[in-house]
Structure 1
Amino acid sequence: MKNFLDLNAEIEKLYKPKIQIFNNFKNIMFYDTWANEIYHKVNYFYDWEERIKDKIDNISDPDSPTNIKFIKVFHQDVLQKYNDLNKIDYESLDYLKSFPQFPLEFSDTSNPNKIKNSEFYYSPDNHDQYENFLKKIARIFNIDDFDFQDDNYSYDSIKDVLLDEIIYKLHDTEEIIIDEKDDDDLKKDEILFDKKNEDEIDTLMAIGEELHKKMFGEEPGIEVPKREEIVFKLKNKEEELEIDRYYSYGFLSYCLDSTRTLLKNIAKHLDSFVSLIKKLENYKEDEFTLDDILINDPTDLKLEYKLSKMEVALFYRALHDVGIIHVNNQGQKHPYTNLKSYIDNSNIYYLDKAKVSKVNDITRQFARFLNDNKYEQHELKLLELIISKLKNRKEQILANHEEGLA
């Protein structure tokens, strides 16, 4: 019974994680560990997943009716919890702020966070993880048009620019600096205004027009300004401490996303075991299945062909033979061995009497058309269909060009 209780406790931790937001530290604890430190522990969630899988394997005894019953019930409970978590937006700032706030102060020797939230840096080894985190921060703070592909910035400077965008968005305060380095007659003009105040905006525009006349119209000896830049700043020194809080929501979102992914992997692990049990005892399908839950998972995508299974095989064979796609077949005796393996292992679906079914065992279709010339007519019809649709697409593009729409 202890093993059952331990395993159930692990799943409850994934479903309702212990989260504490500490005001004084501007940081968040995820199960008594700072969320940003977890981000730097590459194997944190992987090791947690392996521990749970080991607990499942230790009680998965097909000869024990009690253990089998527990696995069945436990399997449904995990799927239900995973289904619930799929409905939560972990990149909603309001949701991330909804956890309890703890204004507790630690001494220098008791549980200080070793790394500040803002202290995370790019390196070639963490390229994808770093960029994905910056994109997550941008989504959390609804900065839709932020450019992560600007070659003029290093990744750490992009982080700083992103922070400026967040500060501007949250505080709605802007400082415009027009800096004339080569002209002693013009001094630096600093105008601080609230964007919501229309009178101040009108005033700014009037000043701008006067500066323009002065620089370009009425005093011809003055050079054109060398740079004009917009910088964003916090309203006061105290709010500079909020920088770590902004990033802390990104690290919390990362932990929650990883927890949901972990629960998904546990669901898959259990699903394979329960599938074996069903084969052994012709077990009736339950209310929940993994496929039902995956419909709500935005990361689990499938490619559906509006073709028959045979047409899918002919389509890939045609693309392969004309050189549009290439699958390394080195070491194989037959030319399509690895292509067939790729199709079987991809998340590809086809139409089967108006029902969408997953492609598997495509070898049978390849064997049929390779050994029987009658399938050449099937391929011709398929190619004519594709050519017709692509021709229509081409005509649409040309028509748009003529009408000035493209």
Structure 2
Amino acid sequence: MKNIIELNAELEKISKPEIYFQQDHQTFANHDTWVIEADVKYFSNWYKRITDKIDDIADLDSPRKVKFIKLFHQDVLQKYEDATRFNHENLEELKSTFSGQYSTPDSMKKPIKPCSELLHYGIEDWGNPNFLKFHNIIQLLGSIFYSEDYLVMEDPDFSLYEEKYQLEELLLEKIEMGELSIAEFESDAEKIEMLYSYVELSFYFENIKILLKNIAKYLDTYVNLIKKLENFQEDKLTLEEVFDNDPNNLKLEFSLNKMDVAFFYKTLFDAKIINLAKNGQKKKYTNLIKYIDSSNMYYIYNNKLDKIKNINKEFTKCQKVVQYKSQEMNLLELIISKFTKRKEELLAYKEEGEL
């Protein structure tokens, strides 16, 4: 019974955060953990701690413990579904999680670094994880506080550092004019630090969703076995039903490089073969870029499949960098040749009376 109680407590801790902001350290904490220090290792340890407890109670010879596995399976699926509905890129939804508590528990040491000190990378290289992390932080900073259709690095003449400083200046102006409401601080540095704290909080909730998804998948292996043993009927929720709300399920593979994928969709969009509702977005390709980034698509990179993400960089080149026009021409000629070949095959069927 002890493991069952502890497992339930861990799951409740995931789904019921106690978020507070410590003004002296200018960052958020959840329960007894600074959000900025909740790294990949932190969440992998949390996952292992929970799955170990699941294994401890998963005695399929015990009807009582089988019932608990089913109960936790449905409980985690519901928590995961709730997490997919929470928009962690919306400032007001992030604020709704904040308890308003400002005191730090005596058991907690101050965080190792403030949020803004994490923004470092060597050179602008999309294969560099530090650069990619920096890019994603600035992207999220703009999406939350400036505009929901904000896209970083649209201007190829700006470095990521330059765009960072420009965005910070724009956000300080919004705060000064009363267009952006956050906690009151005297210095600009403190105001900026607060913004980055919200960005880290947003990443934290994204990782919470991933954690719940992985726990749900782990429990699902047990429940599927139980269904085989007991001819168990479908429950109100299944993992597949919850996955329908998660955009990263189906896998589409392109036999093209990433730039060609961008040209492919841009051409279809410009030719009005495909379309996406603007939903108030001012820029032409904003929703198309968001759709591609959120879809589970892959492209060929170094003879291996790699997931398509952060494709706004390629869209910028498509529109502004002249030397890529020859690549666009080559792609169009490839598509035309394949369609021409297919048309010839259909004409052959027609001549033989089969069409």
Same fold (TM over 0.5): yes
Name the structure where helix makes up a greater proportion of residues: 2
For the residue of structure 2 that corresponds to 1:17, the secondary structure is: coil
* Distance change (3 Å), C-alpha of 1:13 and 1:105: closer
2:116 to 115, 118, 127: 118
**AA paired with 2:209?**
R
Which residue does the alignment assign to 2:318? none
Paired with 2:108 and 2:251, the residues of 1 have a C-alpha distance of 49
- Tell me how far apart the structure 2 counterparts of residues 246 and 70 of structure 1 sit (CA, whole Å): 42
Task: Give the Å deviation of 1:154.
Answer: 4.1
Distance 1:328 1:139 in 2: 32
Quote the offset at 1:385 in angstroms: 12
Deviations 1:11-35 (A, max 9, x none): 1111112211224443211232221
Q: 1:125: Cα distance to partner?
A: 4.2
Could you say which residue in structure 1 is the equivalent of 2:2? 2
C-alpha separation in 2, matches of 1:280 and 1:63: 11
Q: Whole-Å Cα distance in 1 between the matches of residues 45 and 72 of structure 2?
A: 21
> Separation in 2 of the partners of 1:117 and 1:21?
13
Cα distance in 2 for residues equivalent to 1:386 and 1:59: 60
Task: Give the C-alpha shift of residue 239 in structure 1.
Answer: 4.3
Superimposed CA distance per residue, residues 354-377 of structure 1 (whole angstroms, 9 cap, x where no aligned partner): xxxxxxxxxxxxxxxxxxxxxxxx
Q: State the distance in 2 between where 1:328 and 1:241 align.
A: 44
1:129 paired residue number: 133
Deviations 1:240-259 (A, max 9, x none): 42111111100111111101
After TM superposition, list the pairs within 5 Å mapping 1:3-402 onto structure 2: 3-38=3-38, 41-98=39-96, 99-104=98-103, 111-123=109-121, 124-143=128-147, 144-148=149-153, 150-172=155-177, 238-301=187-250, 387=342
What is aligned with 2:320?
none
How many angstroms apart in 2 are the aligned matches of 1:80 and 1:236? 39
C-alpha distance in structure 2 between counterparts of 1:65 and 1:286, whole Å: 18
Task: State the AA in 2 paired with 1:166.
Answer: L
What residue ranges of structure 2 are gaps of 5+ in the alignment? Answer: 122-127, 253-298, 308-337, 347-355
**Greater share of residues in strand:** 1
Structure 1 residue 327 displacement after superposition: 12
- Distance in 2, Cα, partners of 1:270 & 1:110: 32
Contact 1:86–1:296 (CA<8 Å) still a contact in 2?
yes
User: By how many angstroms is 1:384 displaced?
Assistant: 9.0
Instruction: Give the deviation of 1:148 after TM superposition.
Output: 2.3
Q: How far is 1:137 from its partner?
A: 1.6
In structure 1, what residue type is equivalent to 2:100? Answer: Q
1:78 is displaced (CA, Å) by 0.9
Q: Deviations over 1:121-180 (max 9, x none)?
A: 23344232222222122211143344325554444443322222322333349xxxxxxx
Residue segments in structure 1 that go unaligned for 5+ positions in a row:
174-194, 196-234, 304-324, 330-341, 347-382, 392-406
User: In 2, are the aligned partners of 1:122 and 1:156 still within 8 Å (CA)?
Assistant: no
Letter in 1 for 2:231: N
Matching residue's letter, 1:127: F
**Cα pair 2:80 2:212 within 8 Å, conserved:** yes
Deviation at 1:44, TM superposition (A): 1.4
Question: What SS does structure 2 have at the residue aligned with 1:288?
Answer: coil
Q: RMSD in angstroms over aligned alpha carbons?
A: 3.7
Larger-Rg structure: 1
Counterpart in 2 of 1:311?
Answer: none
Q: Secondary structure at the match of 1:119?
A: helix
Mapped partners of 2:19, 2:73: distance in 1: 26
Query: Match for 1:6: what amino acid?
Result: E
Q: CA deviation at 1:70?
A: 0.8
Amino acid at match of 2:60: P
What is the TM-score when the length of structure 1 is the normalising length? 0.55
Distance (Å, rounded) in 2 between the aligned partners of 1:158 and 1:236: 24
Cα distance, 1:110–1:14 mapped onto 2, change above 3 Å:
closer
1:291 Cα deviation (Å)?
1.0
SS in 2 for 1:278: helix
8 Å Cα contact 1:20-1:102 kept in structure 2: yes
Give SS of 2:20's match.
strand
**Contact persistence 1:146–1:162 (CA under 8 A):** no
Local SS of the residue matching 1:28: strand
Q: Cα distance, 1:297 vs. partner? A: 1.8
Secondary structure of 2:47's counterpart equals: helix
The amino acid across from 2:74 in the alignment is Q
Distance 1:76 1:84 in 2: 12
Give secondary structure in 2 for the equivalent of 1:101.
Answer: coil
d(CA) in 2 for partners of 1:236, 1:60: 51
